[in-house]
Amino acid sequence: MKSNSLMLALLSVVVSAVILCITHWIYKWRNPKCNGKLPPGSMGFPLLGETIQFFAPYRANNISPFITKKMERYGSIFKTNLVGHRLIVSTDAGFNSFIFQQEGKLFQCCYPKSFNEIAGRENMVSAEGFLHKYLRNLVMNLVGNESMKQKLIPKVEKMVCEHLQSWCGQACIEFREAVAKMEFGFGAKILLSYSESKSSKNLKQAYADFQHGLISFPLNIPGTAYWKCLQGRKKAVEIIKSILEERRATPRERQEKDFLDLVIEEIKKNGSLMTEAIALDLLFILVFAAFETTSIALTLAVKNVCEHPKVLEELTKEHEAILRNRKNIESGITWQEYKSMTFTHTVIHETVRLANIVPGIFRKVLKDVDIKGYTIPAGWIVMVCPPAVHMNPKQYDDPFTFNPWRWQGQELNAGSQKFMGFGGGPRLCAGAEFSKLQMAIFLHHLVTKYRWRVIKGGDIIRIPAVMFPNGFHIQILEKNIQKDATTTESRETV
């Protein structure tokens, strides 16, 4: 009898101790230590944080409901926990600018562990200091202004003309997928000289698997979206590695080298920072960047122009004037013509502002930072939230409306305190200008040679990445073709 009572007493003590430990752990989770006053906010459930709320899909061109509710309750700077990381979310334009200005001093580029698993441990996005500068300079040799002037404009124009012609007259094309395929083929060609039609290795499918779970809860269990994403990355890297090994074994003599040739030369140099691991991660992320963000932005640009006839009218007027001013109307676009497309650049800028393709930019705090009466502890991560700035009525009049004219007379820089469509600070997207060049050339040929109509789709969903759940189906016809389209289900004609 006494032994039973003793066992019950011991069990009661153990249970009480466990409950006390769990309670203490939950308290510490919800009330992290700080040498000053942390910004307000909530940390959600232990381990899970508020990840599910953050990844909840939402429709329309708007700020995430998760961010909106937090801003309404806590203000422009608040704390939370996503995928196991303690975060300070900043929707404050001034603080965001300060973060980018203090790159390498108070803040350092840092993405969640799950991102590095996806992008690669040696990826350019997370690289720091001299390595980042070295990789960026290497990329700028490929897509910098001089390369665009001398080499890339005619290549982009050829790509655009061939694809528009191939789409022309079809009853319907799914524009988002068609543009992504076009951009993928072009990017893989200039980077790796890869051609889907000439290769037995399906690199595009590997990236499709990768994309499926790119923005997902990081649960690496077979069957989950995140697991499929990692499998897609693994396949893509294996294919890129095989291409690299083939090229190293049998170098090809040619007049113009692709990016892979330059990378192999860097690997061979004595004392070079370039290793095979860095090369593979660099090539993997560049192929993805070459088609994903540009194809989304271009799809949204065409959609926006569809929905705003006055924008189409002004855009057409600008590009037809370029044709009239040419000595030879059949000659290709020049750098001077590209730079003269002032209204086109406002259309692109406004598209990128509303697109908010990158929902968050992450920086690790290196030292305690005091801001607006709060202290952000060293070791925490700050997430800059571009959509909250781009959609802020204090920054933009009628911010949810597509209005390219709002940019007229302004210096259209790739980044500023109130515009972060291409990032900010020393880590501005290296391919920003090249992306804009491709969009401008595409719009030039589209509005001068073709008319198009939306068949169906065009709805947007965010998770928080931009998705087209029912596609964006359009029909493209030459302008001189007057016959009716083959379908009667279209919503608009342009």
SS3 of residue 453 by DSSP: strand
Instruction: Give the Cα separation of 175 and 183 in Å (integer).
Output: 12
Smallest Cα–Cα separation from 390: which of 6, 152, 93? 93
Q: Kindly report the backbone phi and psi dihedral angles of residue 365, in degrees, each rounded to the nearest multiple of 5, phi listed first.
A: -85, 120
- Which residues line the annotated binding site for heme? 429
Cα of 16 vs its chain's centroid, Å: 49
SS3 of residue 422 by DSSP: coil
Instruction: Give the Cα separation of 87 and 377 in Å (integer).
Output: 10
Smallest Cα–Cα separation from 401: which of 317, 308, 489, 312? 308
Instruction: Give the Cα separation of 339 and 342 in Å (integer).
Output: 7
Percent composition of the chain: helix, strand, coil (DSSP 3-state, to 5): 55, 10, 35
Contacts of 338 (CB under 8 A, 6+ apart): 153, 437, 440, 441
- Range list of H helices, 75-172: 93-101, 113-119, 129-143, 145-147, 153-167
Which helix (H) or strand (E) segment holds residue 399: the answer is: none
Instruction: Give the Cα separation of 102 and 13 in Å (integer).
Output: 51
Smallest Cα–Cα separation from 273: which of 142, 133, 144, 140? 133
Instruction: Give the Cα separation of 332 and 326 in Å (integer).
Output: 10
Residue 476 DSSP label: E
- Which residues line the annotated binding site? 429
Instruction: Give the Cα separation of 121 and 341 in Å (integer).
Output: 40
